[in-house]
Amino acid sequence: MSNANRKSRKQRRLPVEPILKLIPTVSQREHSGMFKPGRTIRYHDADRFCVKHLGLHPFFVYGDEWYE
């Protein structure tokens, strides 16, 4: 698959609200560009943030929505 085809594929996205419920206010300010209510993030970014900053598998943050 060429790079042009990879870029044209629509990436699955998740809402940021479940993460906002779990991170402290200080972290919300630190990552304010990423975590605005109503915004969505890519699965990859959600996975990295959940593991790195929350210490949780994304399933524990998003539930069944993670595997849909």
What the block records as the tokens of 13 is 């996205």
Do 51 and 44 meet the contact criterion of CB atoms below 8 Å apart? no
pLDDT recorded at residue 48:
92
Q: Is the pLDDT of residue 8 over 60?
A: no
What radius of gyration do the chain's Cα atoms show?
A: 13
Weakest mean pLDDT among 12-16, 22-26, 50-54: 22-26
Spatial separation of the C-alpha atoms in residues 47 and 58, rounded to whole Å: 6
More confident residue, 53 or 29: 53
Q: Is the pLDDT of residue 26 over 90?
A: no
